[in-house]
Amino acid sequence: MTSTASTAVPPLLAALDLLRIELHGEVAHVELDRPAKRNAINDTLVAQIHAAFAGLPAAVRAVVLSGSGAHFCAGLDLSELSERSVAEGILHSRSWHAAMDQIQFGRVPVVAVLHGAVVGGGLELASAAHVRVAEAGAYYGLPEGQRGIFVGGGGSARVPRLVGVACMTDMMLTGRVLDADEGQRRGLSNYLVGPREGLAKGLELARKIAGNAPLSNFAVMQALPRIADLSQSDGLFVESLMSAIAQGDDAAKERVRAFLDKRAGKVVPQ
């Protein structure tokens, strides 16, 4: 991060030593900080990710998630993988689920900035974000099939929603690695930028997201993925409820008035 943090980080967040957290007004930057390990996720880091997203200051309205060093995240730290019983394995997986759910279904939208390795648990982490910006050198892999294990951090539920079951099956069975271009075409990223341009783009998008009405952001985060899992008739009913709730919010009413009074811009190509 090249710019200077504009707000002091609360002590509880500052104490998370495997993360680097900076606050810039309404945008928080959460950076995985294990560059010597390619930001591989051990038990401590997954707990700190959970704590960071659960403990965001009330003023934060969007988050940028990135990785320090040459890679976003190389996945599960296999050097700390111990032999577990079935019960212990379930609890370990559920701890990841809790952390990833705190990202996807937490309080504010998250923009992930991807570079270098986005592999295994790193791809599971990225898939929990709401918007993904990839740099040209990013690459994606799911090597669990070659390691004799299976995804356990939510990947089987989230990654197929981005690339489809067939693509994820291929990646896990054959070890296929997708480069940044193919990842963009298949939906792993929403934006593709040049080397070292990801963080600036991520911050730009996060600031734009932070400017939305909070209830609208909440509806997109919480209602939209659930509606997609419903039957069409049930989904439409839930949509009508969420639409009514959102338009009844005072912030929404003011934004509609601003548009009608020509104080807000129209939709134009970007």
Specify whether 135 is catalytic.
no
Which tokens belong to 225?
């993925």
Among 22, 31, 135, 144, the active-site one is 144
Strand arrangement of the beta sheet that strand 131-135 belongs to: 19-24, 27-32, 62-67, 110-114, 131-135, 191-193
Give the Cα separation of 118 and 38 in Å (integer).
Answer: 10
**Nearest CA-CA partner of 52 in 13, 89, 106:** 13
Specify whether 22 is catalytic.
no
Give the Cα separation of 225 and 216 in Å (integer).
Answer: 14
Among 22, 31, 124, 135, the active-site one is 124
Task: Name the pairing type of β-strands 178-179 and 131-135.
Answer: unpaired
Using the Cα atoms of residue 79, residue 80, residue 85 and residue 90 in order, give the sign of their dihedral: negative
Q: What is the DSSP letter of 34?
A: -
Q: Are 140 and 178 in contact (CB under 8 A)?
A: yes
Residues linked to residue 119 through DSSP beta bridges, in sequence order: 141
Q: Kindly report the three-state secondary structure assignment for every residue of 135-183.
A: ECCCEEECCHHHHCCCCCCCHHHHHHHHHCHHHHHHHHHHCCCEEHHHH
**Nearest CA-CA partner of 140 in 104, 170, 95, 97:** 170
Which tokens belong to 19?
């993360």
Q: Catalytic amino acids?
A: 124, 144
